[in-house]
Amino acid sequence: MAKSIGTHLFNVVRGGLIGTAEVVPGVSGGTVALIVGVYETLITSAGHVLSGLRAAVSDLPRGRGAGRAAAEFRQADWAAIGAVLVGMVAAALLAAKIIAPLVESEQQRSYALFFGLVLASLWVPYTAAGQRWKAWHYLLAAAVGAVAFVVTGLPPAHVEPSAPAVIAAAAVAVSALIMPGMSGSFILLTLGLYTPTMDALNNRDFGYIGTFVLGAFIGGALFVKLLQWLLEHHRMVTLVALTGVMAGSLRALWPWQDEERTLYAPSGDVPFTLAMVAVGFAVVVAVLLIEHLVKGGGRKSGSGGGRHARPAVRESARL
């Protein structure tokens, strides 16, 4: 029982880290989910939930029962979803008050910290498939990375926060949230809706928040199913593309840039800024080493191999 409670608490912490990351423009909650080992669990579970809802809407009015829907719902890891969501929501509300203003006042140093974090995180999708990359994999990652580099360099726009605009922006932002390397907050900043969204959270503007949630649900429902299908049927190529997205999106976190996202050579307090990059890099390395040690210990204390053992790559995505 204690182990179960500990697992739930750990998932709340995981969700808190993801929610905190999503408030910072340029930092992807999907990247953090990859680092803490919960990404594929969330994508797969969310996909089953959406399939269950679709089956319920289709079958119940026709008198076909809830068998298909129930079967899909049972495949979702509800305990993990609930714990992570609790942590995400709580951390996002807190980070909107504390972290976001800090990032704005200390942008160069903050970006340097997150640059190191994301840079080290490239190791996760690079090795997750458990296969050696071929030459064309590197070419694909480079091409996807180039597109991500261009997209993250687009200057901020100014969109009026009307209901249709908020719904569309939320749909795109939540898709970016799901995609490692792309930041939902960065998309909102690009559209000029980051500040209105943060203000709505801080002021408890439930009308705006409700509209945003509707758009987020629409975008998430579409993108989650696509990503679930890609991971199940084209896993290696998908992970290669995700690696490219994360690498190209590092542009958004380059510490030396202006408000129009023009990049500059290192200047000013370069040593301290590079030290922050090193700190962010070291944090991810430490997390990955701890995860490796914990899983290694768990395998040694278990029943060993055999027909019930899971492949290591799948195990890294399970809770």
Per-residue pLDDT at 100: 67
Other C-beta atoms within 10 Å of 98: how many? 11
Q: What does the pLDDT average to over 77-89?
A: 85
**What does the pLDDT look like over 163-221, one tens digit per residue?**
888 888 888 888 776 777 676 777 787 777 877 888 887 788 888 889 998 888 888 77
Pull the structure tokens for residue 256.
């030396």
Return the closest-CA partner of residue 242 out of 133, 156, 114: 133
pLDDT of amino acid 319 = 37
Decide: 118 and 276 in contact? Cβ < 8 Å: no
Q: What is the pLDDT of residue 35?
A: 74
The chain-wide mean pLDDT, for the chain, equals: 78
For residue 92, which amino acid is it? Answer: A
Given a cut of 50, whether residue 310 has pLDDT beyond it is no
Contact yes or no for 243/125 (Cβ under 8 A): yes
CA distance 246 to 250: 7
Q: What angle do CA 184, 187, 193 make, to 5 degrees?
A: 105
Per residue, what are the HEC states of the chain?
CHHHHHHHHHHHHHHHHHHHHHHCCCCCHHHHHHHCCCHHHHHHHHHHHHHHHHHHHHHHHHCCCCHHHHHHHHCCCHHHHHHHHHHHHHHHHHHHHCHHHHHHHCHHHHHHHHHHHHHHHCHHHHHHCCCCCCHHHHHHHHHHHHHHHHHCCCCCCCCCCCHHHHHHHHHHHHHHHHCCCCCHHHHHHHHCCHHHHHHHHHHCCHHHHHHHHHHHHHHHHHHHHHHHHHHHHCHHHHHHHHHHHHHHHHHHHCCCECCCCCECCCCCCHHHHHHHHHHHHHHHHHHHHHHHHHHHHHHHHCCCCCCCCCCHHHHCCCC
Alpha-carbon gap, residue 123 to 284, rounded angstroms: 10
Q: Where are the domains of the chain?
A: 2-315
Indicate if the pLDDT at residue 314 is higher than 50.
Answer: no
Residue 307 in tokens: 């027909």
Please indicate whether residue 283 or residue 25 has the higher confidence score (pLDDT).
Answer: 283
pTM of the model: 0.68
Interior angle at CA 95, CA 209 and CA 222, nearest 5 = 45
For residue 222, pLDDT over 90 is answered with no
* % of the chain beyond a pLDDT of 70: 86
Contacts of 179 (CB under 8 A, 6+ apart): 28, 30, 223, 227, 242, 245
> Does the pLDDT of residue 275 top 90, yes or no?
yes
On the question of pLDDT at 312 being above 60, the answer is no
Q: Is the pLDDT of residue 3 over 70?
A: no
Alpha-carbon distance 84 to 270, whole Å? 37
Distance CA 116, CA 74 (A): 39
